[in-house]
């Protein structure tokens, strides 16, 4: 595993979840560029620093003990990586304040360091929340690999913070410097909402939600085929997003006990609000988590899942495969995992390696709905 060497520290960093023979690093040239620049300009020991979207803790690990550090992001997997990396490098986790993206970090901050996220709506919401949280003379810097840095990111910095200038490229990374100026309090366009016809639901979506403007086509293919149960059955919506699968299932299965889990704090926030709007005070557990890693074995009868195929900018089926393994462990014997997936991903063959029976419930030209029986 490569060591991340900067003027501040030498760190042994991992991604989370860990993969055997992990081909990707937990840091990149944009982290390095940002820290080198910070070291050259100097960092006052009493500076209050806000880190946004420090995915695996590469920035926090370098700055902890050198400033008053608050870190905020929308990934629970990122938070687990951060805490693991602090422990791995014998850094005191209690010296850092972590704020989920579903909450507002409380300033005033002297320095804001931003890793530009994949979803620009998340960046926009984060910049909106900086209003009134910057100390006089504060600096705002954003970093990204050039291939992941759209022009719109600079436009958002200029709109909500102030004039922006860009650095030269170094190792295919670039920095953006925004100079804060007085602006009227912005009005956030988030959360957004859309209406679902069947079942009839108004769904709210916070800024970092996948398919925030309308139901994604995979879920649309899944909904008409959701099972219904009249008995008291224990069910998880794994990777719940705004909660639509779990809520739709719960409406048709009045005795079911539901758990909704997602690694996005904004997804969990959205799912909680949507559950209350649709089902009132009906008991439910909705939590941020590493899939079903914390679920007791043999504790579920049914798992519903529209698995993701990316983690930040990295595309692949590693997370989906891990979710299938977690579902198998959490299900009772005879329990069922129902999923929807693109035909070309070949989930049918993958599930056969874990479950004793796999059936195709439905298909469209692009998607298949599968039932796997433990």
Model pLDDT for residues 175-215, shown as the tens digit of each residue: 999 999 999 999 999 999 999 998 999 999 999 998 888 89
Same domain, 117 and 205: no
End-to-end, the C-alpha distance of the chain in Å comes to: 36
Asked if pLDDT for residue 63 goes beyond 70, the answer is yes
Asked if pLDDT for residue 289 goes beyond 60, the answer is yes
124/188 Cα distance (integer angstroms): 8
Does 269 map to a domain? yes
Model pLDDT, residue 24? 82
58/194 Cα distance (integer angstroms): 37
CATH of the domain at 360: 3.40.50.150
CA-wise closest residue to 95 among 57, 130, 131, 125: 57
72: β partners: 52, 99
CA-wise closest residue to 144 among 55, 228, 71: 55
Domain that holds residue 257: 192-373
Same domain, 23 and 126: yes
CB 195 within 8 A of CB 279: no
CA distances from 306 to 31, 55, 127 (A): 32, 23, 30
Q: What is the pTM of this model?
A: 0.94
269/272 Cα distance (integer angstroms): 5
Residue 295: partners with Cβ closer than 8 Å, 6 or more residues away: 236, 259, 326, 329, 330
Same domain, 268 and 329: yes
Model pLDDT, residue 23? 72
Neighbours of 206 (CB within 10 A): 26
What tens digit of pLDDT does each residue of 81-130 get?
A: 999 999 999 998 888 999 999 999 998 999 999 999 999 999 999 999 99
Does 184 map to a domain? no
**Structural domains in the chain (count):** 2
What tens digit of pLDDT does each residue of 126-184 get?
A: 999 999 999 999 999 999 999 999 999 999 999 999 999 999 999 999 999 999 999 99
Mean pLDDT on 41-64: 94
Structural domain ending residue among the three candidates 115, 143, 178: 178
pLDDT band at 1 (very low <50, low <70, confident <90, very high): low
Same domain, 161 and 259: no
SS3 assignment, position 369 = strand
Does 275 map to a domain? yes
Same domain, 159 and 255: no
Same domain, 250 and 319: yes
CA distances from 339 to 245, 361, 364 (A): 11, 10, 14
Does 238 map to a domain? yes
| pLDDT above 90 as % of the chain | 85
Same domain, 115 and 146: yes
Same domain, 234 and 257: yes
Same domain, 274 and 202: yes
What tens digit of pLDDT does each residue of 259-284 get?
A: 999 999 999 999 999 999 999 999 99
Does 183 map to a domain? no
Same domain, 110 and 222: no
What tens digit of pLDDT does each residue of 292-339 get?
A: 999 999 999 999 999 876 444 444 577 788 899 999 999 999 999 999
pLDDT band at 17 (very low <50, low <70, confident <90, very high): confident
Model pLDDT, residue 21? 66
Supply the DSSP string of 325-360, one letter for each residue: HHHHHHEEEEEEEEEEEEGGG-HHHHHHTT-SEEEE
Q: What is the mean pLDDT of the chain?
A: 93
Same domain, 271 and 368: yes
């Amino acid at each position: 595993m490569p060591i991340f060497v900067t003027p501040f520290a030498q760190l042994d960093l991992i991604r989370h979840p860990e993969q055997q023979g992990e081909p990707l690093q937990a840091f990149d040239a944009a982290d390095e560029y940002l820290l080198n620049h910070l070291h050259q300009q100097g960092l006052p020991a009493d500076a209050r620093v806000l880190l946004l979207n420090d995915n695996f803790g590469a920035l926090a690990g370098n700055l902890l003990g050198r400033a008053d550090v608050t870190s905020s992001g929308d990934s629970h997997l990122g938070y687990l990586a951060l805490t693991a990396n602090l422990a791995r490098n014998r850094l005191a986790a209690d010296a850092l304040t972590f704020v989920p993206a579903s909450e507002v970090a409380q300033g005033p901050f002297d320095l804001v360091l931003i890793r530009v996220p994949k979803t620009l709506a998340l960046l926009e919401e984060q910049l909106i929340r900086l209003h009134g949280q910057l100390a006089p003379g504060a600096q705002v810097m954003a970093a990204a690999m050039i291939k992941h840095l759209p022009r719109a990111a600079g436009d958002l910095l200029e709109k909500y913070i102030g004039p922006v200038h860009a650095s030269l490229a170094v190792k295919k990374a670039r920095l953006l410097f925004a100079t804060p100026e007085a602006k009227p309090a912005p009005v956030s366009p988030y959360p957004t909402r859309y209406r679902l016809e069947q079942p009839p639901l108004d769904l709210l979506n916070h800024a970092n939600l996948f398919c925030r403007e309308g139901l994604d086509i995979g879920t649309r293919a899944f909904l008409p085929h959701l099972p219904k149960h009249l008995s008291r059955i224990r069910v998880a919506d794994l990777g719940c997003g705004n909660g639509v699968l779990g809520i739709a299932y719960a409406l048709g299965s009045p005795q079911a006990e539901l758990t909704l889990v997602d690694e996005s704090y904004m997804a969990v926030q959205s799912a909680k609000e949507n559950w209350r709007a649709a089902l009132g005070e009906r008991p439910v557990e909705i939590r941020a988590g590493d899939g079903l890693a914390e679920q007791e074995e043999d504790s579920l009868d049914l798992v519903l899942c529209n698995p993701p195929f990316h983690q930040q900018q990295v595309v692949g089926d590693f997370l989906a495969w891990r979710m299938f393994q977690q579902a198998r462990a959490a299900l009772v014997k005879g329990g069922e995992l129902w999923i929807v997936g693109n035909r070309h991903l070949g989930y049918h063959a993958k599930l056969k390696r874990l479950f004793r029976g796999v059936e195709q419930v439905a298909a469209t030209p692009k998607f298949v709905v599968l039932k796997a029986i433990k």
